Amino acid sequence: PTIYAITPTYSRPVQKAELTRLANTLRQVARLHWILVEDAAARSELVSRFVARAGLPCTHLHAPTPRRYKRPGLPRATEQRNAGLAWLRQRHRHQRAQPGVLFFADDDNTYSLELFQEMRTTRKVSVWPVGLVGGRRYERPLVENGKVVGWYTGWRADRPFAIDMAGFAVSLQVILSNPKAVFKRRGSQPGMQESDFLKQITTVEELEPKANNCTKVLVWHTRTEKVNLANEPKYHLDTVKIEV
């Protein structure tokens, strides 16, 4: 199966660095199609140029987050992930679904190559641990006799699926046979996006544990420090235009 990775991304000083690091990982994964969705009213020149030289199959989309949703404490990237889902469904609207697996790859996380081998065998929905998240070194699905029976998490253990966006993959077949499953703003609290989405397409009993029964961390919820631009010049500008 082809792996489809949906990556929301937005303009900020570290954007190109994040995308460079992510592309360097994804380029090493066979049969991977990158769906890069800019949080913007149009595709930017920076990302367009980047995509053209990225060296991997990539679809470049854009979807702006309405201004009223750009607030701390509100979920991020809802519109961008939905744009990626819509593209996937549109692309496969005629033919019977080719085998495929969908994964949500935020632009700042750290992904091992082994993770992609694990998710490629997803039949419906697969899950695995995520490192450096939820106020712990890792969160993970608890597995007994090959089934998910609970969640090891430090944060809102009452979530039906107590899992980060980087902790699951979904088969393309499941995405296509649940055409209405999307990320929702209304009624979705921060941190509940994953649960609210997974509820629409699967049950906890049905989940397929990966990464040796969820005992190995293969992806890390790393976050990039906000960059210090205190010494950016106000007047003595550089004499040539630099691509950063």
Q: Catalytic site residue 194?
A: yes
Site string for Mn ion, 93-132 (x = CB under 5 A): -------------x-x------------------------
CA distance 74 to 150: 26
Report the site for ligand UGA in 35-94 (rule: CB under 6 A): 39, 65, 70, 75-77, 80
CA distance 78 to 184: 7
Cα dist from 231 to 3, 8, 225, whole Å: 42, 29, 17
Q: How near is the Cβ of 175 to ligand UGA at its closest, in Å?
A: 18
Residue by residue, DSSP assigns 96-114 as PPPSEEEEE--TTSEE-HH
Applying CB under 6 A, which of residues 19, 21, 84, 106 lies at the interface with ligand UGA?
106
Site string for ligand UGA, 145-174 (x = CB under 6 A): -------------------xx---------
Cross-strand partners of 127 = 168, 209
Distant-in-sequence, close-in-space partners of 49: CB < 8 Å, separation ≥ 6: 243
Catalytic annotation, pick one of 38, 139, 194, 208: 194
- Cβ–Cβ < 8 Å for 32, 26: yes
CB closer to ligand UGA out of 32 and 173: 32
Cα torsion through 29, 31, 37, 38, rounded to 10: 50
CB closer to Mn ion out of 130 and 143: 130
CB closer to Mn ion out of 63 and 130: 130
CB closer to ligand UGA out of 103 and 116: 103
Applying CB under 6 A, which of residues 4, 5, 9, 181 lies at the interface with ligand UGA?
9
The closest alpha carbon to 28, from 127, 130, 116, 120, belongs to 116
Q: Which residues bind Mn ion (CB under 5 A)?
A: 106, 108
List, by residue number, the catalytic residues. Answer: 194
